[in-house]
């Protein structure tokens, strides 16, 4: 994991930008995760101090939302939808396939550090179930074959 | 957990003046509007099963155990979150409700260890009670599924353990930490089935932000958060209500006992000072009371280089009496004196000063208030007419603007600090006047000072007068109040004085280090922001102009009409548990009980006739004068009850010199404290658990101290004083402290109505309590000032003689921290050392860089009085140029450095301003080495004492 001291200026800048905004904790947490890929636990001290909250409160919010992570992700994060529509459209089989292909379970990162895998509950793309996202891109009607192609593309890009 | 069958009403009482009548299970019930259905039922004697509700916390509605049916309402509302309504018809029990509750209990129990018989909370567990109440008979889900039973126990806190396997995630601990304590150290980590209580970022308690106040332990309905003393000893079998012996908040506690063994201290929900809250000291740090260092046999010796000799009480008292009589015969009546204790009860303090005035025949009596709040006595007496704070603690809940000057409530008066934070979270404005960034400034979640006047130590008077300048010159004074209630001539003079241009914020900005605009804004806020209340502490009094600042504060309150009602006032946060009481009880050399001057012949005659002796009309020696006279050779004998002057008083080498000059030093204490190392007679004291009496807290509240165990030394402190008096030839014959209180009441107008019967009946009483105010006086000066008209006094700023120079470029100021208490004689002998094991020198990063000091380095701190060595703590709480330390450990020698400067009116030492030089060093100072040798030698003389039977 990276030394927090090198990340601290980024965190402080994000805190600074959102300082005056009411209800700024979630935007700040998103800002940090968008920039650093995760929320370093050490950043919680700075966030709490800047927002006049306790560290426990900030931690409570981070841990409540599964989207927020406190460890660095792989280069690309794959999220598989596990909500009703996707499950009805064979999402379960896709899930098994993906895990097999990557050799990891949910909340894990591949040994080469390229992919992290997370579950997600509804991407609002139900008409095109089953859906996944890779990083910020939503993809629908993902069959096992389509997934393999996508995987190859992302690996190739690497 | 609530102890010993106390009723828990589930939700807090409503303060509404309106009443609502409803029907619960067919009974007509009338309660305050805004009450919950649960509370209304409890008040009617109907107990609705509950888990997440408790009457110290706002309703939460998470456990769903308290569901009821309400006629005309859909479904099954939670009775804790449903407010009562007129004509509402509630059913608390039927088959459907029973079935729902059993279903909920079943789910809880399916993930709970079934070890009730060996559980520490067996017999004192709300989960156990509730499950019993709902009649759960089987768990259909079995116990094989996913569960939390293997969760790791956190035993990091020395006083309580956290066992998540037993947790039902009701959030009571999390809410208590937030609502009651205001630390927000706990949260729920995760969600759903993964939810678990987490200190900080899922850290052990000791590594989190937890301050160990015990609110979470108090709130926990299971054995999840449990006192280790209960785990070790089992559930207590009886309890007695008594008063904490630490700070001036005076929290009411239940001492929960097994026989004569104290198992735990539980804050009393009905305590009028603390309402069921506590801090780490009162709640947990009671182990000192039975510590192996307690000395329980009297000891004597001819010289302080001799080993101690254990003797009988009779011999020790006789030895002391002979010595003192001999000294008086040789050097005159005035060659001896005594010091009363602010740690002891009112009755004991009264008796010591009576012994000195009537038995010694002089007025050489003083008390530790000399070194803390004597300027409060002087300043408030001169302006308002009474030497005490004006409010109740609860008054802060009506304040709109709170000004904290030279006080650090979250450390020094933690339980009141929590109440103040609660009010601040509700939106009251905050002004902090302090050289340090105390926690209230910005380090308490959801609390932030609107203005922090980060002044240079020693410039209080200039700042307070500048605030007055703004109020007067900008026309913000409450002229109507001042003209009606105060002395008009003094008001006029004061206005002219403060309006002078040299008192403007702009004129003193450079001197005080506070930007003029900040002072102006703070003054405007205080004068116009609604109810304005001032709270102050030793940062005001312990200065060469301590009394002047107190007067300045009183002036501000009078000029803005912030006196005489709830939410306003002038509130000294008094340090010791009974410092208010010891002052009330005539501990000062110039005053009899009730602050009446010894030269007042009418008062003197009253005491002479009651005590059957002739009394001196001359004020006696103050503590610093006693030291001076000892060194001059005119003062030879001293009786010190429960005060450690050899550690707590300033310019300690001077104090030690004086003590060595004494021919007879009699120390009465529970430990061989630093002072006792210079003593010739040691009389074992009794802890607050070993005697009956009363303490008076900072809000003038007289609370009962009750004996829960036999004194280890065999005598309560008042008995020892009585024996000494009898041996000296002045007869005393009390059989119980209540008789002493009766005598105090008979002799003192403010206490005329006080008696033990009344205290038992009311719980506690705020003086004045007499025929006019038979139930006591929560708010002083309501219709008129005690002295008639409030008197404004001029507050000319005179800089302290203690100034920085090229030789001593930094200013040292001193203070306290949460976990240790004053000289630390008690808290150092408890697990509280886990939080603070040594005194450190706090300094600003800028100064540290200039001096080449890193965090943890040894620093030599040198003043014109002496030198000591402390480890550095680098923090931006400090301002550049100012360093800070505490004096909880004798070998820190903080008072080696402090000087003999003192308040012009009362001699209160200037602990808060010492010019020092700081440099990195490699070894302890010469003083520390010498004192270590002396102390080691004294401890070996104690170790090798000649036993009583040899």
Is B105 found in the same domain as B184? no
B860 bridge partner residues:
B869, B919
For residue B223, pLDDT over 50 is answered with yes
**A54: distance to nearest CA of chain B, Å?**
5
B506 touches chain A (CB under 8 A): no
B83 and B118 belong to one structural domain: yes
Cβ contacts below 8 Å, chain A against chain B, sum to 54
Residues B497 and B643 in one domain: no
Into how many domains does chain A fold?
2
Instruction: Decide if A71 is inside a domain.
Output: no
Same-domain pairing of B244 and B181: yes
- CATH value at residue B88: 3.10.20.740
- How does pLDDT run across B781-797, given as a tens digit for each residue? 999 999 999 999 999 99
B201 and A53: CB-CB below 8 Å? no
Q: Is residue B820 part of a domain?
A: yes
Binned at pLDDT 50, 70 and 90, residue B370 comes out as confident
Task: Judge if A113 and A55 occupy the same domain.
Answer: no
In the predicted model, is pLDDT for residue B396 greater than 70?
A: yes
Does any domain span residue B241?
A: yes
| Section B640-668 average pLDDT | 93
Same domain, A57 and A107: no
Integer CA distances (angstroms), B435 to B160, B438, B840, B863, in order: 35, 9, 17, 20
- Cβ of B187 and A41 within 8 Å? no
Q: Do B446 and A52 touch (CB under 8 A)?
A: yes
Q: Do B446 and A53 touch (CB under 8 A)?
A: yes
- In this structure, are residues B610 and B734 in contact, taking their beta carbons and an 8 Å threshold? no
Q: What share of chain A is helix, strand, coil (3-state, %, to 5)?
A: 50, 15, 35
CATH code for the domain of A124: 3.40.30.10
Closest CB from A44, A53, A64 relative to B201? A44
Long-range contacts of B392-395 (CB under 8 A, 24+ apart): B392/B272, B392/B699, B392/B701, B392/B766, B392/B778, B392/B779, B393/B249, B393/B273, B393/B419, B393/B698, B393/B699, B394/B272, B394/B419, B395/B533, B395/B566, B395/B567, B395/B568, B395/B569, B395/B778, B395/B779
In terms of domains, do B539 and B670 share one?
Answer: no
Q: Which of B189, B200, B446 sits opposite A55 (nearest CB)?
A: B200
B172-192 pLDDT tens trace:
999 999 999 999 999 999 999
Residue B67 in this model has a pLDDT that exceeds 80: yes
B349 plus B399 within the same structural domain: no
A12 found inside a domain: yes
pLDDT given for residue B367 in this prediction: 93
How far is A41 from chain B, CA to nearest CA, in Å?
8
Would you state the structure tokens that stand for residue A41, as one six-digit string?
A: 């636990």
Of A41, A44, A60, the CB nearest to B189: A60
**A60 closest CB neighbour out of B187, B442, B446:** B187
Mean pLDDT of all residues in B83-93: 97
Instruction: Flag if B189 and A59 touch (Cβ within 8 Å).
Output: yes
pLDDT for B2 beyond 50: no
d(CA B944, CA B937): 10
**Residues 6 or more apart in contact with residue B652 via CB below 8 angstroms:** B646, B866, B893, B895, B896, B898
A80 shares a domain with A140: yes
Determine phi and psi for B784, rounding to 5 degrees.
Answer: -155, 160
User: How far from the centroid of its chain's Cα atoms is residue B801's Cα?
Assistant: 31
Chain A interface test: which of B185, B198, B201 (most A C-beta within 10 Å): B201
Q: Measure the CA–CA gap between B770 and B478, rounded to whole angstroms.
A: 32
- Confidence band of B6 (pLDDT split at 50, 70, 90): confident
**Domain CATH number, residue B203:** 3.30.70.20
Within this chain, do residues B415 and B545 fall inside the same structural domain, yes or no?
Answer: yes
Q: Is residue A81 part of a domain?
A: yes
Residue B567 lies in a domain: yes
A59/chain B closest Cα distance in angstroms: 5
Residues B202 and B229 in one domain: yes
What average pLDDT does range B913-920 have in this prediction?
Answer: 94
The answer to whether A122 is a known ligand-binding residue is: yes
| Tens-place pLDDT, residues A50-102 | 999 999 999 999 999 999 999 999 999 999 999 999 999 999 999 999 999 99
Q: Pick the more confident residue, B800 or B298.
A: B298
User: Mind listing the pLDDT tens digit for each residue in B465-508?
Assistant: 999 999 999 999 999 999 999 999 999 999 999 999 999 999 99
**Chain A residues with CB within 8 Å of chain B CB:** 41, 44, 48, 52-57, 59-60, 63-64
Note whether residue B237 is domain-resident.
Answer: yes
- For residues A47 and A108, membership in a common domain is answered with no
Same domain, A107 and A55: no
Contacts of B200 in chain A (CB under 8 A): 54-56, 59
The total of structural domains in chain B comes to: 5
How high is the pLDDT of residue A146?
Answer: 95
- Give yes or no: residues A24 and A97 share one domain: no
Residue B251: HSE in the Cβ half-sphere, 13 Å Cα cutoff: 29
User: Is there a contact between B209 and A64 if contact means CB atoms under 8 Å apart?
Assistant: no
Q: Is A9 domain-assigned?
A: yes
* DSSP-derived 3-state class of residue B219: helix
The reply to whether A128 sits in an annotated binding site is no
Nearest CA to A53 out of A44, A42, A62, A41 is that of A44
Residue B893 scores a pLDDT above 90: no
- Based on the fold, state whether residues B205 and B97 are members of the same structural domain: no
CA of A153 vs chain B CAs: smallest distance (Å)? 35
Residue B757's pLDDT is what? 96
Which residues, including other chains, have CB under 8 Å from residue B553's CB and lie 6 or more apart? B379, B405, B464, B534, B536, B540, B570
- Taking CA atoms, what residue in B is nearest to A52? B445
Residue B706's pLDDT is what? 97
CB spacing of A52 vs B445 below 8 angstroms: yes
Do B380 and B359 belong together in one domain? no
Residues B198, A55: C-beta atoms closer than 8 Å: no
B326 and B262 co-located in one domain: no
Using an 8 Å Cβ cutoff, are B792 and B498 in contact? no
In chain A, residues with a C-beta closer than 8 Å to the C-beta of B198 are: 56, 59-60, 63
- Number of residues that this document lists for chain A: 158
The percent of residues above 90 in pLDDT, for chain B, comes to 90
A56 Cα to chain B: minimum distance (Å): 4
Residue A158 pLDDT class (50, 70, 90 cuts):
low
Q: Is residue A138 part of a domain?
A: yes
Domain span including residue B240: 160-290
Helices (H), B529-587: 538-541, 546-559, 579-584
As a whole number, mean pLDDT of residues B760-771 equals 95
Q: What is the pLDDT of residue B689?
A: 96
Answer whether B184 sits within 8 Å of A63, measured CB to CB.
no
B64: which 2 tokens?
């769903």
Which of A75-79, B457-461, B864-868 shows the lowest per-residue confidence on average (mean pLDDT)? Answer: B864-868
* Shared domain check, A116 and A147: yes
Instruction: Give the CA distances from residue B168 to residues A156, B125, B804, in Å, rounded to whole numbers and listed in that order.
Output: 50, 12, 59
Q: Is residue A69 part of a domain?
A: no
pLDDT exceeding 90 applies to what percent of chain A? 91
For residue B262, what are the β-bridge partners? Answer: B257
Give the three-class secondary structure for B576: strand
Chain B neighbors of A56, CB-CB under 8 A? 184-187, 198-201, 208-209
Q: Which of B766, B797, B828 is the last residue of a domain?
A: B766
pLDDT score recorded for residue B428:
97
**Token duo for residue B205:** 């308690």
Q: Is residue B662 part of a domain?
A: yes
Asked, for residue A121, whether it belongs to a domain, the answer is yes
Distances (CA, A) of B209 to B184, B205, B350, B778: 8, 8, 42, 35
- DSSP conformational letter for B571: E
List phi, psi (to 5°) of B701.
-90, 120
Residue of A nearest to B175 (CA): A57
Indicate whether B423 pLDDT > 50.
yes
pLDDT for the residue A155: 82
Which CATH number is B891's domain given?
2.40.40.20
Pair A95, A147 in one domain:
yes
Q: Which domain holds residue A133?
A: 76-157
pLDDT score for B949: 61
Is position A70 within any domain? no
The arithmetic mean of pLDDT across residues A31-45, rounded, is 96
B826/B481 Cα distance (integer angstroms): 46
Q: Are B435 and B457 in contact (CB under 8 A)?
A: yes
**Angle, alpha carbons B191-B196-B198 (nearest 5°):** 115
- Measured in angstroms, the CA of B827 and the nearest CA of chain A are apart by 27
Domain check: are B403 and B461 in the same one? yes
């Amino acid at each position: 994991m990276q030394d927090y001291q090198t990340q601290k200026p980024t965190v402080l800048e994000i805190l600074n930008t959102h300082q005056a905004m009411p209800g700024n904790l979630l935007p700040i947490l998103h800002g940090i995760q968008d920039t650093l890929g995760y929320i370093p636990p050490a950043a919680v001290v700075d966030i709490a101090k800047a927002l006049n909250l306790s560290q426990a409160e900030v931690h409570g919010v981070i841990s409540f939302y599964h989207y927020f992570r406190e460890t660095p992700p792989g280069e690309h994060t794959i999220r598989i939808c596990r909500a009703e529509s996707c499950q009805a459209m064979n999402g379960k089989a896709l899930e098994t396939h993906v895990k097999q292909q990557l050799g990891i379970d949910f909340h894990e990162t591949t040994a080469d550090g390229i992919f992290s895998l997370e579950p997600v509950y509804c991407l609002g793309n139900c008409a095109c179930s089953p859906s996944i996202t890779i990083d910020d891109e939503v993809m629908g009607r993902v069959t096992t074959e389509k997934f393999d192609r996508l995987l190859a593309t992302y690996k190739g890009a690497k | 957990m609530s102890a010993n069958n106390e009723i828990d009403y589930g939700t807090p009482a409503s303060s509404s003046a309106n009443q609502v009548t409803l029907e619960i299970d067919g009974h007509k019930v009338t309660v305050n509007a805004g009450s919950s259905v649960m509370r209304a039922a409890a008040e009617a004697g109907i107990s609705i099963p509950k888990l997440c509700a408790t009457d110290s916390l706002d309703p939460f509605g998470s456990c769903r155990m308290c569901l009821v049916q309400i006629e005309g309402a859909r479904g099954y509302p939670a009775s804790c979150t449903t407010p009562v309504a007129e004509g509402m018809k509630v059913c608390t029990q039927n088959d459907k409700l029973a079935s729902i509750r059993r279903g909920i209990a079943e789910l809880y129990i399916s993930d709970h260890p079934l070890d009730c018989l060996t559980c520490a909370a067996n017999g004192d567990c709300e989960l156990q009670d509730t499950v019993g109440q709902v009649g759960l008979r089987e768990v259909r889900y079995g116990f094989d599924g996913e569960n939390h039973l293997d969760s790791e126990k956190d035993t990091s806190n020395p006083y309580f353990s956290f066992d998540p396997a037993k947790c039902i995630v009701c959030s009571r601990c999390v809410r208590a930490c937030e609502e009651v304590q205001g630390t927000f150290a706990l949260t729920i980590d995760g969600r759903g089935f993964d939810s678990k209580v987490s200190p900080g970022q899922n850290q052990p308690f000791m590594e989190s932000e937890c301050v160990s106040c015990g609110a979470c332990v108090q709130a926990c309905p299971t054995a999840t958060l449990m006192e280790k003393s209960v785990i070790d000893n089992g559930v207590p079998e009886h309890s007695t209500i008594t008063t904490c012996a630490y700070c001036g908040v005076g929290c009411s506690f239940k001492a929960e006992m097994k026989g004569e063994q104290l198992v735990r201290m539980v804050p009393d929900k009905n305590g009028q000072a603390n309402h069921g809250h506590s801090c780490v000291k009162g709640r947990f740090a009671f182990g000192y009371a039975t510590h192996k260092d307690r000395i329980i046999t009297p000891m004597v010796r001819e010289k302080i280089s001799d080993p101690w000799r254990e003797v009988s009480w009779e011999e020790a008292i006789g030895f002391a009496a002979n010595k003192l009589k001999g000294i008086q015969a040789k050097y005159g009546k005035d060659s001896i004196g005594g010091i009363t204790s602010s740690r002891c009860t009112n009755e004991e303090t009264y008796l010591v000063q009576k012994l000195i005035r009537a038995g010694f025949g002089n007025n050489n009596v003083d008390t530790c208030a000399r070194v803390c709040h004597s300027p409060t006595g002087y300043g408030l007496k001169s302006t308002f007419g009474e030497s005490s704070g004006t409010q109740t603690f609860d008054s802060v809940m009506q304040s709109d603007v709170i000004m904290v000057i030279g006080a650090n409530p979250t450390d020094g008066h933690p339980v009141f600090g929590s109440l103040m934070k609660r009010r601040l979270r509700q939106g009251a404005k905050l002004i902090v006047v302090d050289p340090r960034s105390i926690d209230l400034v910005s380090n308490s979640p959801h609390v932030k000072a609107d203005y922090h006047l980060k002044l240079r130590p020693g410039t209080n008077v200039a700042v307070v007068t500048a605030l007055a300048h703004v109020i007067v010159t900008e026309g913000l004074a409450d002229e109507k109040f001042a003209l009606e209630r105060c002395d008009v001539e003094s008001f006029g003079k004061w206005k002219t004085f403060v309006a002078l241009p040299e008192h403007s914020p702009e004129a003193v900005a450079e001197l005080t280090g506070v930007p003029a605009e900040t002072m102006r804004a703070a003054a405007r806020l205080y004068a116009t922001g609604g109810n304005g209340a001032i709270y102050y502490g030793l940062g005001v009094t312990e200065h060469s102009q301590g009394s002047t600042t107190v007067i300045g504060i009183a002036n501000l309150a009078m000029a803005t009409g912030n006196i005489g009602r709830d939410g306003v006032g002038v509130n000294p946060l008094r340090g010791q548990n009974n410092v208010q009481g010891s002052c009330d009880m005539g501990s000062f050399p110039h005053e009899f009980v009730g602050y009446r001057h010894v030269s007042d012949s009418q008062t003197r005659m009253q005491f002479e006739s009651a005590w059957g002796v002739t009394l001196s009309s001359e004020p006696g020696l103050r503590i610093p004068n006693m030291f001076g006279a000892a060194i001059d050779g005119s003062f030879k004998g001293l009786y010190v009850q429960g005060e450690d002057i050899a550690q707590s008083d300033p310019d300690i080498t001077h104090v030690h010199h004086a003590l060595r000059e004494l021919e007879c030093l009699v120390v009465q204490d529970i430990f061989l404290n630093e002072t006792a190392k210079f003593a010739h007679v040691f009389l074992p004291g009794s802890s607050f658990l070993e005697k009956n009496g009363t303490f008076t807290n900072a809000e003038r509240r007289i609370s009962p101290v009750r004996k829960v165990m036999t004194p280890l030394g065999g005598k309560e402190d008042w008995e020892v004083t009585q024996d000494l008096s009898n041996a000296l030839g002045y007869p005393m014959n009390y059989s119980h402290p209540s008789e002493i209180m009766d005598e105090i009441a008979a002799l003192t107008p403010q206490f005329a109505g006080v008696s033990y019967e009344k205290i038992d009946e009311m719980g506690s009483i705020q003086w004045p309590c007499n025929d006019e105010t038979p139930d006591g006086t929560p708010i002083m000066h309501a219709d008129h000032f005690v002295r008639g008209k409030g008197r404004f006094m001029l507050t000319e700023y005179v800089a302290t003689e203690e100034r920085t120079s090229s030789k001593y470029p930094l200013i040292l100021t001193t203070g306290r921290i949460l976990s240790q208490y004053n000289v630390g004689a008690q808290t150092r002998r408890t697990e509280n050392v886990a939080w603070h094991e040594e005194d450190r020198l706090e300094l600003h990063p800028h100064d540290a860089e200039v001096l080449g000091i890193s965090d943890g380095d040894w620093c030599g701190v040198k003043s014109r009085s002496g030198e000591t060595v402390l480890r550095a703590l680098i923090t931006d709480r400090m301002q550049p140029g100012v360093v800070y330390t505490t004096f909880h450990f004798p070998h820190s020698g903080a008072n080696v450095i402090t000087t003999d400067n003192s308040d012009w009116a009362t001699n209160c030492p200037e602990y808060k301003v010492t010019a020092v030089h700081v440099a990195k060093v490699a070894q302890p100072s010469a003083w520390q080495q010498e004192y270590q040798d002396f102390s080691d030698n004294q401890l070996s003389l104690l170790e090798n004492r000649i036993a009583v039977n040899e």
